[in-house]
Amino acid sequence: MPAENYLESKWVKEIVMLQRADGSWGYFHTLSNPTKAQPITTEQALRRLRKLGLTEKDEVIRKAIAYIEGCLKGEIDIPDRKEKFRDWKVFTSLMFATWLKLLSPGNSLAEPIIQNWASIIEAAFTSEAYDHRAYLAAYQAVFGLKPHNGRLVDFVSFYQVALLQGALRPETERRLLKHLISLNTGIYYIYDYKIADLPEKFASKQTNRYLTALELLSGYKAAGELLGFAVEWLQQNRNDEGYWDLGPAAKDGMNFPLSDSWRSAINRKKDCTARVEGLLAGLKQKL
The set of long-range contacts for 120-129, using a CB threshold of 8 Å and a minimum separation of 24, is 120/155, 121/155, 121/160, 121/164, 121/168, 121/172, 121/176, 122/168, 122/169, 122/172, 124/155, 125/172, 125/175, 125/176, 125/179, 128/175, 129/175
Cβ atoms < 10 Å from Cβ of 91: 19
pLDDT score at 112: 98
The amino acid that residue 51 corresponds to is K
pLDDT score at 5: 57
In the predicted structure, residue 98 carries a pLDDT above the cut 80:
yes
pLDDT score at 257: 96
**Mean pLDDT rounded to a whole number for the chain:** 94
Type and span of the H or E element at 90: helix 88-103
Tell me the β-bridge partners of 185: none
pLDDT score at 84: 72
In the predicted structure, residue 273 carries a pLDDT above the cut 50:
yes
Of 163, 150, 88, 174, the residue nearest 119 (C-alpha): 163
Q: Lowest-pLDDT range, 4-8, 49-53, 238-242, 271-275?
A: 4-8
pLDDT score at 287: 74
In the predicted structure, residue 113 carries a pLDDT above the cut 70:
yes
The amino acid that residue 96 corresponds to is F
Question: Above pLDDT 70, what percent of the chain?
Answer: 98
**N- to C-terminal Cα distance for the chain?**
22
Q: What interhelical angle do 265-285 and 228-236 show, nearest 10?
A: 150
pLDDT score at 3: 43
DSSP 149-197: SHHHHS--BHHHHHHTTTTS-HHHHHHHHHHHHH-TT-BBTTB-S-TTS
Residues in the chain: 287
pLDDT score at 218: 97
pLDDT tens by residue, 184-230: 999 999 999 999 999 999 999 999 999 999 999 999 999 999 999 99
Q: Rounded mean pLDDT of 57-63? A: 97
- At 1, the pLDDT band (50, 70, 90 cuts) reads very low
Tell me, rounded to whole angstroms, the distance of Cα 120 from its chain centroid. 20
Instruction: State how far the Cα of 250 lies from the Cα of 238, in Å rounded to an integer.
Output: 16
pLDDT tens by residue, 167-182: 999 999 999 999 999 9
Q: Are 163 and 174 in contact (CB under 8 A)?
A: no
Q: Are 177 and 193 in contact (CB under 8 A)?
A: no
